[in-house]
Amino acid sequence: MTNNLSRCPHVATIGFISKEDYSNATEAEKCEKCDCIGPHLWLCLREGCLFVGCGTGKEKNDHSSDHEKEKAHPLQFNLTTKRVWCYVCNQEVRLNNDPSLELSFLDRSIVPTKSSKLLNNSGQVINEIEESSSNQSVNHQNQYEKCFEPTLFELEHTDTTDFTRGISGLYNLGNTCYMNSALQALSNCVPLTSYFLDCIPFIGINSYRRVNGDLSNMKSNGRLVKAYFKFIESMWTKPLQGRQSHVINPSSIAAEIRSINPSFRSYTQQDAQEFLRCFMDELHSEMRLVKYYADEKHRSESSSTDNSQCDVIVSNLNGESEYETCNSGSTSSSDDYSNDDDLNKYSSINEIKEYSKKKKFYQDKYDKLSRTDSGVSLNRNKCDKKVKESISNKKFKMSNSIISSIFDGSIQSQIECLTCNRRSSTIETFQDLSLPIPSREQLEKFHAIQCGNDEQLFLKNQEIYDNNSNSWMSWFYSLFKNLWTLNIWGPPLTLQDCLQAFFQADELTGDNMYSCEKCQKLRNGMKYCKVVELPEVLCIHLKRFRHDSMIYTKIGSYVSFPLVDLDMRSFIHKDCKSTIHLYDLFSLIVHYGRAGSGHYITYALNNLNQQWYEYDDENVRQVDTAIVQNAEAYVLFYRKKEPNISETYETIRHLMSRDQDSLLSFYISRSWINRLFYFAEPGPITNNDFLCKHGGVQPDYWSVINDLVCPVHESVWQYLFEKYGGCSVCNILYPCRICQLDDENLKCRQRSERKTFLQVSLINTVIIVIIENFII
């Protein structure tokens, strides 16, 4: 951990600097020698000097260092990070320095300065980004503590009221028990619910405003996301006085689902699992974030730089993409932007030249920036090494959402040719496992294999009985087999049996022979299936309904399932990187009745009081675990057995209280903090969801940046980084001007295209319209 105490005797040279002098230096926003625009600007603390110089780390442009060499003014103050650096001692000077450091002009409630002006080459203001008022005056310590008090985690440890959140019933809108059961099951999925409560700006909401702490007044392109957010908010954050539960009307969710999928528009009974698939697919579509990574050329160039960072951009797009390796280095290529040649057919030559000129100007400026300050030692060698280990040679989905982060797993299917022994494999993503319910003959085979030598005895006796069909032994064997099949006698059917039936090797013979590319013929083969990536939440669907020609039947066999410690170790691939293989049940959907009719209910574990509840439309009651275990499960939701987070939480709290005098903030995405508390395996630290590929904040997120990030002290960052790894340090927040120029140019081009289309549409001719986004 970083030592909090500094001993710099040169603090005695600090003169009096008024708040007005400090404000003038901050508003200047440029170096006095080269007119370099921030954020790396340093203010000399010698009385009467007030020199502002740049400190980009480049020898020819490091005027702050040059000033110290010429004037012998060792102490300089970074206008962005609020840190003091002594060039003579070659160290940071902290507030608890010996002797003490007094900065009368500094207001600790001020967050790092963020320039809102966008300048062209001539220094004229061409645009402004509106700066959030909350960015101007924030109490840091309260903000630190608030970030590490996630809603559910806070309620679990501090809520002393009699009301238990999450136990509200749902009105039946007419054979909508299938929807109610699915919503209740998802409502008790802690990783998903906590995300909706704590990470509102990340769920696809374009803009929202806080009005006395109320987040309901928001605008969203994803109407289903908005409806589900209001449902979660009513379920978990609005207690009623004097009542243990209340009933919620899910009509808004029903209306959105019916508009999306016509099969749910009728008032007939539907399948709960089909509703789950439709519902979760639509949530994923509305909340997904598309990430762009630099190519291999840029990766090789950036691997030699010291200031490595995750160069990804996140934007709310709708396209699906393939897998690509994440880059851990900075790039300066313009290939990622819109091709200027393509713009010629939409805009004038002067507009293109002006746009290219602006973009090149700001690209040159940002290429000189680093996510960390050149004058502050942050043990970068250790950080860069760990960044490369945790990010390089790693594949990330380019289009993901909280749905895919929680429910997505991967299965590798491998086929082996029994003639040439050639193996081919494919990896597929799954959000649930649809398990067959094995027959008693299959179950008999599984247990016989497990019994080892007893299998040969069983097969030998079966052969004897078949050869003596007229004997009394044949009659006894037939009775024994019937009792076994009817589950009156024999081993019970378990969830492990269903998993074994799903993952067992299949023989590809007869009409199902394998087309071998090496043999160029149809060959007998063996198909194997293993899990290569375990999801955070494992959704298991038991195939209870069967379609045979015109007959629709239900398999009513009881399948026993564990409430805790479902072990997936025997079904994972050798290359699976998941270290946690045990799962605990938190909800299940039960179907009573026959095929084509019946009723759905849900049993769910409340995370706040660790009690099981039965959700039957409007009715909610607490039940014992024995009732849950005897239920006829249809869909089961298991969550990874999470380690004890309390130790990590207490360590963070201790470090925050110890380092209250620290002026520098390290920023971590609020979505990753949410993963830290509610995911068993949160993964490496990432800020890719609010930073663009140039290292700045995306323009769309700038106005709400304080709601997207968690500021932490340096010691907290070091602790989390050493424990989980992750991307590079982020201690400077500034809006990306290049991305803003690109967005403005795109909007300008769209307006021009629309104007041209409307003009052409007035002509009485046949027009063929080609949408550029659909051209591959």
**pLDDT tens digit sequence for 690-740:** 888 888 888 877 877 888 888 888 888 888 898 888 877 888 888 888 888
The pLDDT assigned to 108 comes to 42
The pLDDT assigned to 583 comes to 95
The pLDDT assigned to 308 comes to 32
**Mean pLDDT over residues 193-206, rounded?**
75
**Mean pLDDT over residues 306-329, rounded?**
31
According to DSSP, residue 490 is labeled: S
Distance CA 715, CA 408 (A): 33
Which structure tokens are listed for 6? 């500094």
Which structure tokens are listed for 530? 């293993």
Percent of the chain residues past pLDDT 70, beyond the cut: 64
**Mean pLDDT over residues 586-605, rounded?**
91
pLDDT band per the 50, 70, 90 thresholds, residue 45: confident
Least confident of 223-237, 371-385, 507-521, 541-555: 371-385
Distance CA 234, CA 253 (A): 13
- If we measure between CA atoms, which residue out of 572, 441, 426 comes closest to residue 503? 572
pLDDT band per the 50, 70, 90 thresholds, residue 20: confident
Distance CA 490, CA 493 (A): 9
**Mean pLDDT over residues 494-517, rounded?**
86
Least confident of 197-201, 360-364, 700-704: 360-364
Q: What angle do CA 444, 447, 451 make, to 5 degrees?
A: 130
Least confident of 21-25, 71-75, 517-521, 721-725: 21-25
The pLDDT assigned to 60 comes to 59
**pLDDT tens, 403-424?**
999 999 999 988 888 888 888 8
68 pLDDT above the threshold of 80: yes
> What is the pTM for the complete model shown?
0.67
**Mean pLDDT over residues 541-560, rounded?**
83
The pLDDT assigned to 531 comes to 92
**Mean pLDDT over residues 129-143, rounded?**
40
Percent of the chain residues past pLDDT 90, beyond the cut: 16
C-alpha distances (whole Å) from 773 to each of 342, 352, 502, 698, 757 are 13, 21, 40, 22, 16
Task: Give the chain's radius of gyration (CA, Å).
Answer: 31
Least confident of 101-105, 468-472, 613-617, 645-649: 468-472
Which structure tokens are listed for 330? 């900075």
Distance CA 494, CA 516 (A): 36
| Mode of pairing for the β-strands spanning 247-248 and 169-170 | parallel
User: Are 692 and 313 contacting, i.e. CB atoms less than 8 angstroms apart?
Assistant: yes
141 pLDDT above the threshold of 90: no
Compute the mean pLDDT over every residue in the chain, rounded to the nearest whole number: 71
| Mode of pairing for the β-strands spanning 433-435 and 599-605 | unpaired
According to DSSP, residue 576 is labeled: -
Query: CB neighbours (10 Å) of residue 171?
Result: 15
Distance CA 650, CA 323 (A): 37
Q: Which positions ≥6 away from 56 have C-beta within 8 Å?
A: 36, 40, 62, 368, 369, 370, 374
Least confident of 46-55, 251-260, 394-403, 670-679: 394-403
The pLDDT assigned to 122 comes to 34
**pLDDT tens, 730-770?**
888 888 888 888 888 888 888 888 888 888 877 655 556 55
- If we measure between CA atoms, which residue out of 681, 470, 670 comes closest to residue 581? 681
The pLDDT assigned to 209 comes to 33
- Helix or strand holding residue 244 (H, E): none
C-alpha distances (whole Å) from 202 to each of 48, 207, 288, 292, 486 are 47, 10, 9, 17, 52
Length of the chain counted residue by residue: 776
| Structural domains in the chain plus CATH codes | 9-106 (3.30.40.10), 162-288+537-640 (3.90.70.10), 291-316+323-396+646-743 (no CATH), 452-492 (no CATH), 750-774 (no CATH)
- If we measure between CA atoms, which residue out of 417, 669, 650, 409 comes closest to residue 537? 409
237 pLDDT above the threshold of 70: yes
User: Are 25 and 52 contacting, i.e. CB atoms less than 8 angstroms apart?
Assistant: yes
The pLDDT assigned to 443 comes to 72
Helix (H, G, I), strand (E, B) or coil at 323: strand
The pLDDT assigned to 154 comes to 56
The pLDDT assigned to 80 comes to 76
Distance of CA 731 to the CA centre of its chain: 21
HEC string for 493-556: CEHHHHHHHHHCCEEECHHHCEEECCCCEEECEEEEEEEEECCCEEEEEECCEEEECCEEEECC
459 pLDDT above the threshold of 80: no
**Mean pLDDT over residues 603-611, rounded?**
90
Catalytic residues: 177, 599
- If we measure between CA atoms, which residue out of 426, 419, 428 comes closest to residue 515? 419
**Mean pLDDT over residues 280-297, rounded?**
64
Query: CB neighbours (10 Å) of residue 577?
Result: 11
